[in-house]
Structure 1
Amino acid sequence: MNKDETMSETMKDAPADALTVEPSESAKAQSYHYHVMRRALDKIDAAGERIPLESLATELNMSPAHFQRLFSAWVGVSPKRYQQYLTLEHAKALLAERHTVLETAVAAGLSGTGRLHDLFLRWDAMSPGEYARRGKGLTIRHGWFASPFGEVLAMGTDKGLCGLAFAEECGRVAAWQDMAGRWPAARFEHDPDSIAPWVEAAFEGRGEAALHMIGAPFQIKVWEALLRVPSGHVTTYSDIAHAIGSPRAVRAVGTAVGRNPVSFLIPCHRAMRKSGGLGGYHWGLPVKRAMLAWESARAEA
């Protein structure tokens, strides 16, 4: 069966509410905030320089006061300060000032319970044999949730979250196809309540979020390395390759980073090119830039 046939089969067998459930009022508000950020990002890029608050608000058809309230509610800092985190130059500054060399972290070891900003993160990796069965025997529960980066499709097993897909750039259908197509033999149930505590912990930074990392052994090694990169810092694909003991596998590392199924919690958005370029991002480059800006602003607030 080819990829298109697999995706069609996945969509045919998907619960009817996988794509049709209406987001809550909170989710709608979060999505609206993200779209404001997305439009602001485009305006700032087009200008090539910092835009005064009044001008930026006018271009977005808002009053300066309303625009400032939205930004402050979303990220915790003013639009004037936030603009510096949205520029492309900020990526290069991150690499120069907050570049984490992973070999040191690797030498220190990684326990089963990691620390990610204010969140306790517990993770459990699937065995190679389980991965080879493409999800057979697994029940994966899913639901749509609000996030600081727009609407997110969350998936989880009994052990923890196994998928987070951001739909603002690619849409719900593409997000569902991508995630469900990774484990075509699994049984999918629409049950957002069962995974809601983990999702809330992930984005509110409080409590404990559990991860069930489903991937090939090499991919899991790459994802474990990403978990060592602190919030507000970045690393490079080549650093990751060295950290996992495969210095020549930079291209394979990039592929594994791109296949990370639990975006944001496994922080693939913190991986950059050695040149300071952002590289790609599976859920859209604007989402990656927004995540880096959001984390940087909070780290310095």
Structure 2
Amino acid sequence: METQTDIHFYRIAEAIEYIQRNFKAQPQLDEVAEQIHLSSYHFQRLFTEWAGVSPKKFLQYITLAYAKKMLKEQQATLFETALDSGLSGTGRLHDLFINIEGMTPGEYKKGGEALSINYSFAECPFGTLLVASTAKGICHIAFADDAQEALSELKAMFPNAHYQQMVDMQQQNVLYIFTHDWNQLHQIKLHLKGTDFQLKVWETLLKIPKGQLASYGSIAKQISRPKASRAVGTAIGDNPVAYLIPCHRVIQSSGVFGGYHWGSVRKTAMIGWEAAQTDQFNV
């Protein structure tokens, strides 16, 4: 016997399939809702609860993925890409890339060719870090257990950028978080790209105080997506700035620490170290 949950799942799966199949026609909310026999209001609410994003935003992601493939693999012009993606012109293509990717279609096509990235390796209490920055702020931090592999992963994100191994003031400010009182640190600027949902999750992680923990469910509630714990977990796993955006402070509601992109042992060490640091300041 099918439960209401099963029915909702099949309806959303059908809606996703319809959007994927017809994205070039840029279907409106009413059209998709009609396909699964729901009112626009109930479809919007149900889809957002299950997918973690609105139907409109999901359509934008599908369209963007196709546009990126055209620009990269087929070397299509911006005009050709816009029209074949179902957009009315290059202006809408430009807005789509700016809103989601944080760069213009031309910049994406060039693979960050105009971008200058400084990077350096540094030691912290939890191993070697690779820290990278642009003129706008910190764009990447990762634990570099294998330095060459970590550098290759960074360069894969911006394959045509200009890289220079050097330490700048932004990187130095980041490293101070391991040796200074956080309340006394200079403001650290971040230069990140991500979806609206990812950025919202990462922003929420920054609000978790040092020495404290939060659950995936509590993060989902804070961003007004109480049923999107799984999507929250995915966004946390995609965190491009290790430690500074403290995804290590998010654990399962059962109290189990759970996995971590850079190793569960490292996550446990971080949580313990921060708890000790907090106790020291409270003495």
Q: What TM-score bracket applies, with the shorter chain setting the length? A: 0.5 to 0.7
Go from structure 1 to structure 2 and tell me whether the alpha carbon gap of 1:238 and 1:185 turns closer, same or farther (over 3 Å shift): farther
Are 2:138 and 1:161 equivalent residues in the alignment?
yes
Are 2:251 and 1:272 equivalent residues in the alignment?
yes
Name the count of aligned residue pairs.
174
Query: How much does 1:130 deviate?
Result: 2.1
Q: Say which of 112, 120, 128 aligns to 2:100.
A: 128
Match of 1:34 in 2: none
Match of 2:155 in 1: 180
Go from structure 1 to structure 2 and tell me whether the alpha carbon gap of 1:182 and 1:247 turns closer, same or farther (over 3 Å shift): farther
Question: Aligned to 1:256, what secondary structure does the other structure show?
Answer: helix
Unaligned runs of 5+ in 1: 1-125
The letter for the 1-side match of 2:121 is W
Q: Provide the aligned C-alpha RMSD in A.
A: 2.1
Q: 2-side partners of 1:293 and 1:204: how far apart?
A: 16
**CA distances 1:73-112 after superposition (whole Å, capped 9, x unpaired):** xxxxxxxxxxxxxxxxxxxxxxxxxxxxxxxxxxxxxxxx
Match of 2:194 in 1: 215
Question: Aligned to 2:157, what secondary structure does the other structure show?
Answer: coil
Question: Aligned to 2:201, what secondary structure does the other structure show?
Answer: helix
Go from structure 1 to structure 2 and tell me whether the alpha carbon gap of 1:279 and 1:135 turns closer, same or farther (over 3 Å shift): farther
Question: Aligned to 1:212, what secondary structure does the other structure show?
Answer: coil
Are 2:271 and 1:296 equivalent residues in the alignment?
no
Q: 2-side partners of 1:258 and 1:192: how far apart?
A: 27
Match of 2:122 in 1: 145
Query: What TM-score results when the alignment is normalised by the length of structure 2?
Result: 0.56
Q: 2-side partners of 1:202 and 1:138: how far apart?
A: 26
> Quick check: 2:216–2:250 contact (8 Å CA) kept in 1?
yes
The letter for the 2-side match of 1:139 is S
- Flag the structure with larger Rg: 2
**CA distances 1:212-261 after superposition (whole Å, capped 9, x unpaired):** 23222211110001011000000011111111122222111111101111
Q: Say which of 256, 266, 276 aligns to 1:287.
A: 266
Are 2:205 and 1:226 equivalent residues in the alignment?
yes
Go from structure 1 to structure 2 and tell me whether the alpha carbon gap of 1:194 and 1:300 turns closer, same or farther (over 3 Å shift): closer
Q: Map of 1:20-35 to 2, 5 A cutoff?
A: none
Q: Name the % identity.
A: 40
**CA distances 1:121-142 after superposition (whole Å, capped 9, x unpaired):** xxxxx85242573645322210
The letter for the 2-side match of 1:152 is L
Go from structure 1 to structure 2 and tell me whether the alpha carbon gap of 1:127 and 1:135 turns closer, same or farther (over 3 Å shift): farther
Query: How much does 1:185 deviate?
Result: 4.2
Bigger relative contact order (CA 8 A; separation at least 6): 1
Q: 2-side partners of 1:243 and 1:136: how far apart?
A: 37
